[in-house]
Structure 1
Amino acid sequence: MSLHPAAPEDLPALTAAYVQTIQSISDLGHSLRPGDVERETQCPGWTVLDQFAHVVSLEAWVQGEEPPEPDADADDTAQRPGIGGIVDRFLASRRDRSLEELLEELDDLATSRVQHLEAETTSPDDPAIGPFGATTLHGLMENRLFDLWVHEQDIREAIGRPGNLDGPAAAHVVRLLFAALPRIVARTAQVPDGHAVILDLSGPVVGRAGARVEERDGKPHGIPLFTGDTEQHPDVVTTTITMSTQAATRRAAGRVSTQDTHVTVTGDEDIARRVLDALVIAP
């Protein structure tokens, strides 16, 4: 795997990337034009204002705010189970707030978070509770950086203002996608034994990752390529998918269909389609 710029890995780098992403979201909010908050986004049923309400409410949740109780009067069939329902209830709890109120709360939450992250007694191994359960502080910040940046891009797509595609959070999302590629290729897309797939990103985050499929004990395994080791790989049939950072990360977030994702394929078109169908890594 090669990647430029490099993705943040330790807690100080994740903290810096978190600060940069929060500031980018805040700046975006303060620069919206009349009518922007009502625009629909690629999250079905969510407006731009809903995206800000979600960003704020999820940040409040991971900092200790208790989830709102389910609406006893609501139709049970309309309430999603599990984390989806919690996200919906948090969003509903802030839907009546103005953009200015949401941005002020986001600033307060971010200040509190950074003070904790930068404290001398804070360790990346400290236990933490994230949206998906118990984790470490390092794991939580990896999750938060992914979520924050993806929702920033939701807002940018809706208002037609691309940006922050070359920052540390963008590199972080690409790194997670690249790390998942061997599993995606071998297990989810079920690429045959003896084939390899290369994902080549043209920028602004420039990177290359690949995986070949090898059957072991009757099961397909994805073997990473470009790891820098001296292992000799057997000859394989290779399919290369070339795409931009924006196209790759929108597909990885599940916001855009395979058919609407602009790519260039060298090799087997069917294998490329299967990999693109399986490329979503967002929970």
Structure 2
Amino acid sequence: MTLHPAAPEDLPALTAAYAQTVQAISDLGHSLRPGDAERDTACPGWTVLDQFAHVVSLEAWVQGEEPPGLSADEQAQTPHINDVVDRFLTSRRGRSLEELLEELDALVSSRVRHLEAETTSSEDPATGPFGPTTLLGLMSSRLFDLWVHEQDIREAIGRPGNLDTAAAAHTVNLLFRALPRIVARTAAVPHDHAVILDLTGPVVGRAGARVEERDGKAHGIPLFTGEAEQHPDVVTTTLTMSTQAATRRAAGRVSTADTHVTVTGDEEIARRVLDALVITP
């Protein structure tokens, strides 16, 4: 696997990328034009303002805020709301953009102070959206989530950017690391085949996986690891995409049919991999 720029790996690098990404989200909020807040985003049912409410809500939760409950009337009116994230979003849906941005600034200042403290360790226990984890694991998931929502906002208001940042590289890195599982298990690519994902930029990188059968089960074997291991000859399919195309598909924001990709090799295998490429829950 190759990647440029490199993705942040340790807590200080993740902290810096986190601070930069949240600042970008805040800057977007402070510079919205009339009507922007009401625009629909790629998240079904979510406006731009809802995106800000989500970012603030989840940040408050991972910093210790108790999730709100829903009244019987609210449950009846919004039966699709059944998890913590949706309850938080609902609780902040009545707030103005100014209120949300003020709360976000306060939350992030507190978080960065904690992350940069000498007594803070990357192995400190933390609670993330998917259960108990370490502080390093939490910040990895937070950076991914924040950058994806930054891109949701940018796309909705027609202001692309920050596709070459550490957070963008982090998102690509998560996708690349998931590729062996995606290829072998989710996409069910036949054994003795390989798939290469080639990103043309602004984050430039290449990752691949070949499928090998072991004890009757498919295993994805990473390619481009830098090791001297010899790989058998395989049938290879290459998907070439931009950073934006790959990450929007990985976030589940665009369909396979709407993903701009150049395929070299088996079109059916490429379609199956694109269908399976989503790494958001």
**TM-score bracket for the superposition, by shorter chain length:** over 0.9
Q: Which moved more, 1:164-173 or 1:65-74?
A: 65-74
Q: Which residue of 2 aligns with 1:258?
A: 256
C-alpha separation in 2, matches of 1:175 and 1:104: 31
C-alpha separation in 2, matches of 1:232 and 1:71: 61
Q: Which residue of 2 aligns with 1:161?
A: 159
CA deviation map 1:10-64 (0-9, x unaligned): 0000000001101111111111111000000000000000000000000000000
Please give the TM-score of this superposition, normalised by the length of structure 1: 0.97
Q: Which residue of 1 aligns with 2:21?
A: 21
Q: How far off is 1:79 after superposition? A: 3.6
Q: How far off is 1:77 after superposition? A: 7.6
* Unmatched 5+ stretches in structure 1: none
Q: How far off is 1:87 after superposition? A: 1.3
Q: Which residue of 2 aligns with 1:133?
A: 131
Q: How far off is 1:70 after superposition? A: 2.4
C-alpha separation in 1, matches of 2:113 and 2:17: 15
Q: Which residue of 1 aligns with 2:180?
A: 182
Q: Which residue of 2 aligns with 1:118?
A: 116
Write the letter of the residue equivalent to 2:232: P
Aligned length: 280
Determine helix, strand or coil for the equivalent of 1:158: helix
Q: How far off is 1:228 after superposition? A: 0.2
Q: Which residue of 1 aligns with 2:49?
A: 49
CA deviation map 1:213-270 (0-9, x unaligned): 0111111100000000000000000000000000000000001000000000000000
Maintained 8 Å contact 2:199/2:206: yes
Determine helix, strand or coil for the equivalent of 1:258: coil
C-alpha separation in 2, matches of 1:254 and 1:70: 28
Please give the TM-score of this superposition, normalised by the length of structure 2: 0.98
2:76 is equivalent to residue 78 of structure 1? no
Determine helix, strand or coil for the equivalent of 2:118: coil
Distance 1:77 1:58, change over 3 A: closer
Q: How far off is 1:183 after superposition? A: 0.3
Q: How far off is 1:80 after superposition? A: 3.7
Q: Which residue of 1 aligns with 2:5?
A: 5
Q: How far off is 1:132 after superposition? A: 1.1
Q: Which runs of 4+ in 1 moved over 6 A?
A: none
Q: How far off is 1:89 after superposition? A: 1.3
Maintained 8 Å contact 2:239/2:270: yes
Determine helix, strand or coil for the equivalent of 1:13: helix
C-alpha separation in 1, matches of 2:185 and 2:109: 41
Q: Which residue of 2 aligns with 1:102?
A: 100
* Unmatched 5+ stretches in structure 2: none
RMSD: 1.0
Determine helix, strand or coil for the equivalent of 2:179: helix
Maintained 8 Å contact 2:81/2:87: no
C-alpha separation in 2, matches of 1:63 and 1:110: 10
Give the 5 Å matches for 1:200-219.
200-219=198-217
